[in-house]
Amino acid sequence: MAKILVVDDEPQIRRFLRISLTANGYTVLEAEAGQGALDLCRSERPDLVILDLGLPDLDGQDVITALRDQAGQTPIIVLSVRSHEYDKVEALDRGADDYVVKPFGIAELMARIRAALRPAPGAAEAEPGVVRAGSVTIDLGRRVVEKDGREVHLSRREHELLAALARHPDHVMTHAELLRTVWGPAHVDDTVYLRVYVKQLRQKLEANPNQPRIILTEPGVGYRFRVGEER
């Protein structure tokens, strides 16, 4: 089973998670501070990180940025008492894959862990097809995205969202469809996730993110991926 790194300065939380995760077949690593988490991530290469934001040495948001730079596409689930939307948006902006507010239900957390560890669509077998939109080229089989001939680095979630849109070119996909496809059924109401990741994709792919020509908003409905030349 997967190796999970739990980063939390509260011994009771770490103990509870260690018992619960071990009972579900996971191998558990523990860190009580941000620097320890970065060191363990470098040496042990966990499959997933559960991260509290209130750490004694580093701000958890900065740890997300460092983990994303260091650990690539390793899923990060934030587990925090901070419940404000701006905390969630910042964490997602910095590269977190999910956000769970304390107190939490262990069954829900386990479901989110399973979703985060689920193989990305197309990972098991190559998916043929190249989609072009203006200066952007998406090779769905190779999971490579290029803009103006240069490869664009995308996180796992960013790629999954872009691929979900690109598989249905010029077709409106609703918020619920995209959330269900990329994050799973438990997230069909979490539109903040979708808004943040669409913004990130536009910043990486659009010539002018404030006037998108590739990922278009269909107000009150969802998004549409427009293929062909930019107009």
Q: Residue ranges per domain, the chain?
A: 3-117, 130-225
- Torsions phi, psi for 107 (to 5 deg): -65, -40
Contacts of 206 (CB under 8 A, 6+ apart): 212, 213, 214, 215
List, in order, residues 6 or more apart from 37 with CB less than 8 Å away: 5, 7, 31, 49, 51, 63, 67
Can you read off the two tokens belonging to residue 61?
A: 């948001």
Question: What are the pLDDT tens digits along the chain (231 aa)?
Answer: 799 999 999 999 999 999 999 999 999 999 999 999 999 999 999 999 999 999 999 999 999 999 988 867 789 999 999 999 899 999 998 889 899 999 989 998 998 898 888 765 544 444 458 899 989 999 988 889 999 999 998 888 899 999 999 998 888 999 988 998 888 877 878 888 899 999 999 999 999 999 999 999 998 899 999 986 554
CATH of domain 130-225: 1.10.10.10
Top CATH class of 3-117 equals alpha beta
